[in-house]
Amino acid sequence: MLRGSSGFYSYAIYEHLEDMPALILYETRIAFMLKVEKYMAVADNRQRYMPLPDDRLPGRGEALAYPEAVLLVNPVEPEFKGEVDDKYQYSIENKDNGVHGWICFDPPVGFWQICPSNEFRTGGPTKQDLTSHVNPTTLAMFVSAHYGGEELSLQIGSGEPWKKVFGPVFIYLNSVSDRNNAFSLWDNAKEQMKVEVQSWPYSFPNSEDFPKSDQRGTVIGKFLVHDRCASEQPLPAKGAYVGLALEGETGSWQRETKGYQFWTTTDEEGYFCIKNIFMSDYNLYGWVPGFIGDYRLNASIIITSGFLLCSNFMQ
């Protein structure tokens, strides 16, 4: 907790030493189970009043094909009758999962989980995962096999040294004096998310395993696509996703769980800038909306503190 901050930060450092046996980690997360919040928000177009935990119990709820899905047959509040409650309905892709949480109306306060960076999340920017759901529960997901199976679990071999920092994430609490303005807490939480993103990487973690900004690198370059069906000349890959992940085959970033990933999107001319990268060896990956293919630059990218110029990333 920082002085003057309306909330607190949390992170974890996981380590597997050389003398340890093999490990498979299917899921790890930070979870908060609240008591009174009733209104949930995960995006501007995905927010609503939620059923109560009791609505999922036998007599009020009817279990469906798997435990998480429950048909509400006799909920406390009749407006929810006939709905199916399922925490997977509120999943979201990593790239869009910046802030989510709950609003209480009496008193009018908000509880939010803010994740300012996806660098420590597994599976890349398009990996879907859980957010908030009935109980009420709010999750900061770090590793999970959701939507991908065991291949997306963290698998460490016997005697394999490994260490990773998950987080920090920010647990933000806000309030208003008038309950009629309670919905503004969501807008305020989004503004706070922007503040946290601008502050990344944080300067306050004391661990040497969390590099400060002057201990990280930056990659800048241009992404071109050569599609003979569209043009004889290479085209700027506008709106493309470009990222660094551990070295591997084309598309391997989607199954990568041990290292860090750093992603951005290109501008109208195909230029990109990836900031705040851990010092390590990577491959450069990408894909372009409207073009078939998953791309990889056929060269290692070695990051040290400072700037690295990739003149043209062409596929």
Q: Write the pLDDT tens digit of every residue in 165-188.
A: 999 999 999 999 999 999 999 999
131 CB-near residues (< 8 Å, 6+ apart): 42, 90, 91, 92, 97, 100, 138, 139
Residues of the domain holding 230? 213-314
Mean pLDDT of 119-133: 97
Which whole number is the average pLDDT over 138-166?
96
Please check whether residue 186 is in contact with residue 98, taking contact to mean a CB–CB distance below 8 angstroms.
no
Q: pLDDT tens digits for 27-74?
A: 999 999 998 779 999 999 999 999 999 999 999 999 999 999 999 999
Q: Which residues contact 153 (CB under 8 A, 6 or more apart)?
A: 24, 25, 26, 27, 143, 145, 257
Q: Are residues 169 and 221 in the same domain?
A: no
End residue of a domain, out of 136, 165, 198: 198
In a domain, 204, yes or no: no
State whether 310 and 232 are in the same domain.
yes
**Are residue 181 and residue 220 in the same domain, yes or no?**
no
Asked whether residue 309 carries a pLDDT value surpassing 80, the answer given is: no
**pLDDT recorded at residue 311:** 54
From 166, 198, 230, the end of a domain falls on 198
Are residues 189 and 110 in contact, defined by beta-carbon separation less than 8 angstroms? yes
Residue 208 lies inside a defined structural domain of this protein? no
Rounded CA-CA distance 140/142 in Å is 7
pLDDT of 227:
83
Residue 205 domain-assigned (yes or no): no
pTM equals 0.94
In this prediction, residue 314 carries a pLDDT of 54
234: tokens are 């290479």
**For residue 236, what pLDDT band results from cuts at 50, 70 and 90?**
very high
Based on the domain organization, do 130 and 243 belong to the same domain? no
Domain check: are 168 and 263 in the same one? no
